[in-house]
Structure formats: C-alpha cells, structure tokens
A = this chain, B = another copy of it.
Amino acid sequence: MHFTYVCNDCGKTFTTDKVIYQCPDCAKENDDLHFPKGNLIVTYDRDELKELGKKPHVTFYDFFPYDVPDKDSYPVGNTPVVRPKRLIGKYGTPGLFFKMDSVLPSGSFKDRASQLVAAQALAHGEKKVCLASTGNAGAAMSCAGAAYGLDIVLFVPETAPVNKLMQSVLYGATVVPVKGTYDDAFKLSIAYTKHFGGINRNTAYNPMTIEGKKSVSIELFEQLGRRVPDVVYVPVGDGCIISGVIKGFIDLKEAGLTTRLPHVVCVQSKQSNAISQAFKTGKCDAIAHATTKADSISVENPASGRMAVRYLKECDGWTVEVDDSEIFKGQMELVRESGTFVEPAAACAWAGFVKDHDHLVKSYGKDVSACVLLTGIGFKDMAAFQGEVSMPKPIENSVEAVLERFKD
C-alpha cells in the first residue's frame, strides 16, 4: 500500500520514498528526555484501507508498506491460538486464550518486526542492517538476515551475557560488544548506519519495527473468524510491542473490518514500570529504575513510551503492574498447568491477567474474550532453572525399588 509517515508527537506528515527514521524537529529534544520523542507512524490512504476492508479474507501482508519477498523462507505468522483447558477451568473464563508468538523462527515476537525491516532493506537495495540489542530483537534480526542473506551488525553492551548473544552469533551476525551501556551501543549503532549505510533497525527508531509488530492483530482477527478479542494482555518494556498491537487493530478499524478496538492492557513489572506510571499520571516523564529480572522488559527509557500511552488511551486500555515474584509464579503456572513454556517477560502478561482477573470478570463478564500475548520462548534460558528446580534422588535398578518409591 501507499504510505506516509506521521510524527507521533507533533503530527507533521512526511511523504517520501526514502528511508526515514524520526521527526527531525521532535527528536532534537531527546538528549534531555526520559521518554524520547519524534517516533513516526506509518499511515495509509483511508480509501485504500477501505478497499482492503472489502476482501473476504486478509493477511497482514495486505496491510504492509513493503512487499515481503520469499515469505516461506522465514515463516513469520500463523502462530497458534491456544485455549488452555486447565487454566480456563481454574479461572472460570471460557474465553481465555494465548496467542503463542513464542514459536516464531527465532523464538520471539521480534521476528514480526525483523521480517518487515528485512523487506524494507531489500526494497531499497540495501544489504546491511544494523541495530543495538541485548536479546530477542538482535536474535530475530540475525535470523532474518540468515534467511534473506542480509549482513547484520549488532552492537551490544559488553556486559550482556554471552548466552543471550550466542544465538545471534550462530545466525552469523557481526556482533560488536561495546565498553558501555545499552544506550551507548544504541548511539554507536546509529553512527554506524550514518557512516556505512544500510538500514538501522533500532526498535521504535525505525518505524517499520512497530509497523511489523502490528501483524499479530491482523492475523488474530482472521484466526478468530473476523472478530477482535474484548481484551488483550501485553507484556510491556519499551512500549514497542503494545504500540504495534494497538496499531494493528486501528488499521483494521480504519479498513472497516471492526467497529471497535479491543481494550489493550499494558502489563509491566513493578520493577520497570515507566509506561504504566506515565499512563496513570498523564505525564511522560517517569524515571523507572529498571531492576526486574524479566530482562526483555527491563527498560529505563521507553523508546516507544509516548506512542504506547497515546494508543492505550485510544483503545480505552488500562495498566497492571505485577511483582517479579508474580511473574515467576506465573511462568511456573503456565508450564505446569498448560504445558506452555515461555520466558519471564512473556509470563508477565499472564501474571497481569491473573492479577486483573476479578476486575476483568466484574467489568466484562466471565465469558469475556481475553487474549494473553506470549512473546518469547522459555527454552533459550534453561540454565536459569538449575538452582530453582531440584532433581530427585536415583533409585536402585530393581522392581522392588520402584514399588518402594511409589508406595502410598
């Protein structure tokens, strides 16, 4: 589709065939802000969207600004809708379901953004994509790079754990540890792109990251038989995923495919709650001293914070804050009582549902259609459980020992 960019903060429109990243006027202030400004929103012609709304079926690719070539080479999307029988029974909410994006190729939701950024690079004849990341975004872009033959340059703080970078190294990315913080790595990655060209894929900085993430909502709409859920619980760190999720529903609404937006719920760790606080106070200036152990959502300066707060209001959403202990309890509840093994950041969304449950049922009834977005797989960090979960003692190799072990 034809598209333009609109600044999330000043509303200025930019129409260009070139790759652009931020509103130059608004971004000027960013050195002094906890919530950066100037993020751009990809925007389509309303008539084109309305035409799209007449199709009997749509895919998220129909709603993209770039054609994605060789889709089957990097299978993004079509993730399961899981209806967890036991948890549905336990909480008495038959409309509860998981959108299980943890099974995407690199094991996280970030593949959705990386696929569109790869398409952007290919459309502009670029071979190189650069970004800063300590985890899933870097792995996802590196995975896309391996699939499409793009060169990925990944700046990381030198203190990032080797385990988290290993995956990107395996995909063949050029990983550059920096003697500095994540913010330092972020700045150097932008300097890299300025000097050496290619595409910069920093989250929220490149508007295609949020635009790619919207795909989950369009996919879900078709999976649910052309309906949107009533409520969607999303784990939130920098605000990029939740912005993308809401943007997807907004595009569906503008296409005339839904008359209402779901209530999207921003679930944060109390130990990294900048966006939740900004939503509550109405001021995008909260300083979150991010200490949560759910590393994928541990964020001090939310790159998409302003957009997330604005979109949350637009969809009549709300926020829930949970303790780290509730996140880890939720992670174990998911794996033990539904066979769904996700990383702590994803379990945060579930912990949010649990905490919000009484309010949810009271407000919308027990039959509410409630989606919990599960954003990252648990397998990547098995070592984290080694101290937590103990192995039972061995028994002798005899039937008698078995009988003894299992006597009442």
Residue of chain B at shortest CB distance from A397:
B180
Q: Is A285 an interface residue (CB 8 A)?
A: no
Contacts of A158 in B (CB 8 A): 394
Instruction: Tell me the A33-57 residues at the B interface (CB within 8 Å).
Output: none
Contacts of A378 in B (CB 8 A): 170
Q: Are B74 and A339 in contact (CB under 8 A)?
A: yes
Q: Are A176 and B405 in contact (CB under 8 A)?
A: yes
Question: Given the complex of chains A and B, what is the CA–CA distance between A170 and B379 in angstroms?
Answer: 11
Residue of chain B at shortest CB distance from A170:
B335
Q: Are B394 and A178 in contact (CB under 8 A)?
A: yes
Contacts of A398 in B (CB 8 A): 188
| Known contacts A82-B75, A395-B178; is-contact A146 B336 (Cβ 8 Å) | yes
Question: Given the complex of chains A and B, what is the CA–CA distance between A335 and B146 in angstroms?
Answer: 7
Q: Are A397 and B83 in contact (CB under 8 A)?
A: no
Q: Is A28 an interface residue (CB 8 A)?
A: no
* Whole-angstrom distance between the Cβ of A272 and the nearest chain B Cβ: 24
Instruction: Tell me the A60-97 residues at the B interface (CB within 8 Å).
Output: 70, 72-75, 78, 80-86, 97
Q: Are B196 and A406 in contact (CB under 8 A)?
A: yes
Q: Are B162 and A386 in contact (CB under 8 A)?
A: yes
| Known contacts A339-B74, A339-B106; is-contact A391 B188 (Cβ 8 Å) | no
Partner of A389, one of B78, B166, B386, B403: B166
Contacts of A163 in B (CB 8 A): 382-383
Partner of A195, one of B167, B188, B403: B403
Contact mask for chain A residues 381-402; partner B; CB cutoff 8 A; 1 contact, 0 none? 0110110010111111111011
| Known contacts A148-B85, A397-B179; is-contact A391 B72 (Cβ 8 Å) | no
Q: Is A192 an interface residue (CB 8 A)?
A: yes
Q: Are B83 and A72 in contact (CB under 8 A)?
A: yes
Contacts of A74 in B (CB 8 A): 339
Contacts of A389 in B (CB 8 A): 166, 169-170
Closest 7 CB pairs of A and B: A180-B397, A146-B339, A177-B394, A147-B339, A75-B80, A379-B379, A73-B85
Chain A residues within CB distance 8 Å of chain B: 70, 72-75, 78, 80-86, 97, 100, 103, 105-107, 142-149, 153, 158, 162-163, 165-167, 169-172, 174-180, 184, 188, 191-192, 195-196, 332, 335-341, 377-380, 382-383, 385-386, 389, 391-399, 401-403, 405-406
Contacts A178-B394, A178-B396 known; 17 new A-B pairs at CB < 8 A: A72-B83, A73-B83, A85-B147, A144-B339, A146-B339, A158-B394, A163-B382, A166-B389, A167-B341, A170-B385, A175-B391, A176-B394, A176-B395, A188-B402, A195-B402, A196-B406, A379-B379
